[in-house]
């Protein structure tokens, strides 16, 4: 039964005509399809009727402006951009949840150029006939890594799947127990192996693997020896892992191909940036490993991609696997990847021109200047409401790379006096653009390392706004 009270409320719901002739809805209709907007209006009115029945609404909620406000917000929520740019103040350079590597203007311009035109994507201009999309990367990769051939696919998970599926379907792949890793977002070596149709042959123990373990595991059904970069964790203490030399020796002795899933795919020595442990793609190939796979958007600093490099005979087999067609990279990625690799061959090198490498290369001294300016500005704008200090903290490269190597640099630490750091962190996320921060010991931390060009100026205003939002919601109760 609908009671008297609800009946009165029902009669207060503004008519569709009234709503559609409201000036704010006019603006909305100038931007969006009228059919879709009308559907949203109908669904909101329907929701309101439901809420009235449950006694959840009062007359104030039903006045025209309030209803229109709800509709405008719903339209923005449902039809506006869901994928938005954010400011990464976490200091984690290769942050998978935040889109990994940002691209430079130069690389993006190449993508736009190719996107807006026809191209010789699969067309051989000399012969005037069909060409190969992967041929575009071949010469550059050969110069940069010494690889005989290259095949680029959608991402590194796809590259590993394709390589194993091609080289070892129905056969055994030997992997050390210490390398059976899971990378965030459900990439697990044993599962990829199962998907590829290969049989995982685990050897050694979690912390120690010897050449004898591999040799014992080899039988007539063995097809591949795989080594995996442990990317996001490290085993320390009493450990032994196989060296490249040992793997290559066994591979040659038993006539088995060797492969390394390198994860990050670093092409430059990062020890000047304080990261001495990362082996480069060209080093692994020079050791004699037959196939190396790596991501395009981790330490390489390019678009999302999976890159397979190595022996021509093996790469050719992968390229002619029907799976390669299903996993192929699109032309925009190819344009971005080629432009990224060109930076590595440029006179000035990639260290400044590739944003990911530029961020990793920032020195604590450079960062200290930025941190102190942010701290000073915040101190003067939020005087008495917060405790701000600059602490020497440690950022991380993140994204499945260099988990134990900290990028040392300062961080601005903000401790609100009237409320928790968690509330400030939340409010920062609601900003335009949203700011993503870390909270530690009830302080919001801002790491200047991952702030892009003009964001160091913006961030002060955004923190003040976020602060005001919390204060206002406190006052409203």
Measured distance CA(120)–CA(439) in Å, rounded: 49
> 157 vs 367, which CB is nearer to ligand PLP?
157
Tell me phi and psi for residue 306, to 5 degrees. Answer: -125, 130
> 167 vs 412, which CB is nearer to ligand PLP?
167
Please check whether residue 424 is in contact with residue 444, taking contact to mean a CB–CB distance below 8 angstroms.
Answer: yes
> 87 vs 164, which CB is nearer to ligand PLP?
164
Cis omega (within 30 of 0) on the bond before 262? no
Q: Which of residues 145-164 bind ligand PLP (CB under 6 A)?
A: 155-157, 160
Of the candidate residues 229, 396, 411, 423, the single one contacting ligand PLP (CB under 6 A): 229
> 243 vs 430, which CB is nearer to ligand PLP?
243
The H helix count followed by the E strand count for the chain is 20, 17
Give the C-alpha distances (Å, rounded to integers) separating 170 from 135, 256, 419. 30, 15, 59
Choices 120-128, 129-137, 212-220, 224-232 (CB under 6 A): range interacting with ligand PLP:
224-232
The site map against ligand PLP for 388-427 (x = CB under 6 A) is: ------------x---------------------------
Choices 209-217, 226-234, 327-335, 389-397 (CB under 6 A): range interacting with ligand PLP:
226-234
User: What residues have CB less than 8 Å from 3, skipping those under 6 apart?
Assistant: none
Q: Which of residues 38-97 bind ligand PLP (CB under 6 A)?
A: none
For 97, the token pair is: 């949840």
User: Whole-number minimum distance, CB 190 to ligand PLP, in Å?
Assistant: 13
User: Whole-number minimum distance, CB 264 to ligand PLP, in Å?
Assistant: 6
Q: Which of residues 239-298 bind ligand PLP (CB under 6 A)?
A: 261, 263, 295
Q: Which of residues 168-197 bind ligand PLP (CB under 6 A)?
A: 183, 187
User: Whole-number minimum distance, CB 467 to ligand PLP, in Å?
Assistant: 36
Long-range contacts of 11-17 (CB under 8 A, 24+ apart): 12/59, 12/62, 12/63, 13/45, 13/48, 13/49, 13/52, 13/62, 13/67, 14/62, 14/63, 14/64, 14/67, 16/41, 16/42, 16/45
Count of residues interacting with ligand PLP (CB under 6 A): 14
> 264 vs 456, which CB is nearer to ligand PLP?
264
Nearest by Cα to 235 from 262, 208, 259, 203: 208
Q: What is the DSSP letter of 61?
A: G
User: Whole-number minimum distance, CB 437 to ligand PLP, in Å?
Assistant: 24
Which residues on adjacent β-strands are paired with residue 151? 308
Ranked by CB distance to ligand PLP, the top (closest) residue is 263
Measured distance CA(301)–CA(311) in Å, rounded: 24
Q: Residues in the site for ligand PLP, rule: CB under 6 A?
A: 155-157, 160, 183, 187, 228-229, 231, 261, 263, 295, 306, 400
């Amino acid at each position: 039964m609908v009671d008297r009270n609800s009946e009165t409320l029902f009669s207060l719901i503004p008519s569709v005509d009234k709503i559609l002739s409201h000036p704010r809805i006019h603006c909305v209709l100038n931007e969006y399809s009228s059919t879709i907007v009308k559907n949203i209006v109908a669904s909101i009115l329907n929701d309101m009727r439901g809420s009235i029945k449950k006694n959840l609404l009062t007359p104030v909620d039903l006045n025209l402006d309030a209803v229109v406000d709800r509709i405008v917000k719903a339209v923005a929520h449902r039809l506006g951009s869901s994928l938005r740019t954010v400011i990464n103040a976490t200091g984690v350079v290769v942050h998978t949840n935040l889109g990994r590597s940002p691209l430079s203007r130069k690389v993006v311009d190449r993508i736009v150029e190719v996107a807006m035109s026809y191209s010789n994507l699969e067309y051989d201009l000399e012969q005037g006939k069909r060409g190969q999309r992967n041929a575009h990367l071949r010469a550059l990769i050969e110069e940069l890594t010494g690889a005989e051939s290259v095949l680029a696919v959608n991402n590194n998970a796809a590259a590993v799947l394709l390589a194993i599926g091609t080289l070892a379907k129905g056969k055994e792949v030997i992997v050390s127990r210490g390398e059976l890793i899971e990378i965030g977002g459900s990439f697990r070596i044993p599962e990829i192996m199962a998907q590829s149709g290969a049989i995982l042959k685990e050897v050694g123990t979690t912390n120690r693997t010897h050449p004898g373990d591999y040799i014992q595991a080899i039988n007539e059904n063995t097809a591949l020896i795989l080594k995996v970069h442990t990317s996001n964790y490290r085993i320390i203490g009493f450990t032994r892992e196989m060296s490249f030399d040992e793997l290559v020796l066994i591979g040659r002795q038993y006539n088995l191909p060797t492969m390394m899933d390198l994860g990050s795919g670093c092409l430059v020595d990062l020890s000047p940036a304080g990261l001495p442990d990362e082996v480069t793609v060209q080093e692994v190939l020079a050791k004699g490993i037959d196939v190396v796979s790596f991501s395009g958007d981790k330490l390489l600093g390019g678009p999302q991609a999976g890159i397979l490099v190595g022996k021509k005979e093996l790469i050719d087999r992968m390229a002619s696997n029907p799976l390669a067609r299903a996993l192929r990279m699109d032309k925009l990625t190819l344009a971005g990847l080629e432009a990224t690799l060109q930076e590595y061959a440029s006179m000035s090198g990639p260290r400044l021109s590739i944003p990911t490498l530029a961020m990793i290369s920032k020195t604590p001294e450079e960062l200290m200047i930025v941190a102190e300016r942010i701290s000073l500005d915040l101190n003067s704008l939020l005087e008495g409401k917060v405790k701000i200090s600059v602490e020497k903290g440690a950022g991380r490269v993140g994204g499945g790379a260099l988990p134990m190597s900290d990028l040392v640099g300062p961080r601005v630490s903000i401790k609100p006096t009237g409320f928790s750091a968690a509330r400030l962190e939340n409010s920062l996320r609601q900003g335009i653009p949203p700011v993503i921060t870390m909270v530690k010991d009830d302080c919001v931390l801002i790491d200047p390392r991952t702030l892009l060009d003009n964001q160091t100026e913006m961030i002060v205003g955004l923190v003040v706004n976020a602060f005001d939002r919390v204060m206002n919601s406190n006052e409203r109760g």
